Amino acid sequence: MKPINLVTGIAMLAALGAGLPQEVKAADLYGALAYSQRTTSYGWAKDFNTRRAAEKAALRRCRERASDCRVAIWFRNACGALAVGGDGGWGSDWGVNLRAAQNKALHVCSGYSYNCRIVVAQCVGRY
């Protein structure tokens, strides 16, 4: 048997790999949180295929109880959290897991308010 040189071996391996199925990438999932500062009402949505759909669903839920809702945060393949303080201040943020999102939202809120607490936190899909 004749030995195969390096270039020929790499070309053969590449040709063999071309017929194998590619790794399937999971679809992105989106979530959003909406908030009404006037009434402290909120709405959330998760596991949507687009950012827009998640934001619309969160706003719809929030607007069942308030008319001044706005999107506080959106997130993709992650988690989001909303914190509200004692004097009406609030903050929101996202993170790679629930704890990170909550900690970041509390930190943002504390820049505007005192006695901040998490009022809602959600993660999409596998997070």
Instruction: Calculate what percentage of the chain has a pLDDT beyond 90.
Output: 76
Query: Which residues of 13-78 form beta strands (DSSP E)?
Result: 30-35, 42-48, 70-76
* Structural domain includes residue 9: no
- What is the total count of domains within the chain? 1
Q: Supply the pLDDT for residue 1.
A: 47
Instruction: Calculate what percentage of the chain has a pLDDT beyond 70.
Output: 79
Q: Residue 7 is which amino acid?
A: V
* Residue-number span of the structural domain to which 93 is assigned: 30-123
Is pLDDT above 80 for 5? no
pLDDT tens per residue, range 31-79? 999 999 999 999 999 999 999 999 999 999 999 999 999 999 999 999 9
pLDDT tens per residue, range 80-113? 999 999 998 999 999 999 999 999 999 999 999 9
Confidence at 125, pLDDT banded by 50, 70, 90: confident
* Structural domain includes residue 23: no
> What distance in Å separates the CA atoms of residue 59 and residue 68, rounded to the nearest whole number?
10
* Structural domain includes residue 4: no
